[in-house]
Amino acid sequence: MPPQGSSLAGDVDALYLFLVAVSVFFSALIAGLIVFFAIRYKRRAKHAVGVPIHGSTPLEILWSAVPLAIMLAAFVWGTMVFFRLSRPPANAIEYFVVGKQWMWKFQHPDGTREINTLHLPVGQPVKLTMTSEDVIHDLFVPGFRVKMDVLPGRYTTVWFEPNRVGRYHLFCAEYCGTEHSRMGGWIEVMAPDAYERWLAGERGQETRLAGPEELYRRFACESCHRTDSTARAPQLAGLFGKAVRLKDGQTVQADENYILESILQPNEKVVAGYQPIMPTFQGQMSQEEALSLVRYIRGLEAGK
């Protein structure tokens, strides 16, 4: 079991353990009785005939009533946990989540954005309002015991209250294409004052620019522009200055303007042999950040 990172994780685990315990108990009881009866009542004489049994009302009632009681207990218990899991408290703070092939985009209440990592303060109920840009994804945080489908054209929500500082793995739990298994990330649960400092620092970056490598990671460029054979997007190393053949047969020179345009309006000039799958980063990054990335890509040498 992953560590219990949310206020409801204990409730979910208790119910789960109860169900496992009931299953183990009855499996062992039934298997044990089969073996015991097989030995105890085996045929001893060659022509022995069993004693006919014509039913037992007390037994019938017992083995109907006991499972019924256990199932009803599991049903009522499960419903109570389900209600608690599906009703965010009134003081929950709302964050936005957008899933897309193949990354998670998060937005804080103050507008701060992140990709594949979400920083949260400990002890604060959080409600995630989620949607998808393309196909069905599913946000799964085992440490918080929450999992919810993320659907295109619809908002779904999930809530939790992180109660322990730490890093929690998050996954996509719905097969959504080639890179599904890599569509994950982390939830960083921080002390409230550390979270405030982090937010202030993050917002400050609009003027105090992050390094280009950090931007490259934060915008997950590498997840598509990979250097191996599974890449779904053109290689960026050694691209600068080359002639690029486009889908419509035109050829363009890969200069700064072309690279900038490809970041902000990727579908304007699609490279021959590739699908127009890149999301636009218009509005996702400041002009300074875009320029920093263009410079970075310009400096990438072939074979790197």
Chain residues binding ligand CUA by CB under 6 A are: 99, 102, 137, 172, 174-176, 180, 183
In the complex, least distance from residue 154 CB atom to ligand CUA, rounded to whole angstroms: 15
Q: Which is nearer to ligand CUA, 179 or 288 (CB)?
A: 179
Q: Which is nearer to ligand CUA, 146 or 297 (CB)?
A: 146
In the complex, least distance from residue 152 CB atom to ligand CUA, rounded to whole angstroms: 11
Q: How many residues does the chain have?
A: 304
C-alpha 204/C-alpha 183 separation (Å) is 28
In the complex, least distance from residue 139 CB atom to ligand CUA, rounded to whole angstroms: 9
C-alpha 233/C-alpha 178 separation (Å) is 13
Q: Which is nearer to ligand CUA, 100 or 218 (CB)?
A: 100
Q: What is the dihedral of CA 246, 179, 137, 119, to 10 degrees?
A: -100
C-alpha 29/C-alpha 47 separation (Å) is 31
Nearest to 299 by CA among 213, 206, 221: 213
In the complex, least distance from residue 64 CB atom to ligand CUA, rounded to whole angstroms: 43
Q: Which is nearer to ligand CUA, 183 or 293 (CB)?
A: 183
Tokens 């875009």 locate to 290
In the complex, least distance from residue 178 CB atom to ligand CUA, rounded to whole angstroms: 10
- Tell me which DSSP letter residue 280 carries: P
C-alpha 47/C-alpha 273 separation (Å) is 80
Q: Which is nearer to ligand CUA, 166 or 177 (CB)?
A: 177
Nearest to 136 by CA among 166, 177, 168: 177
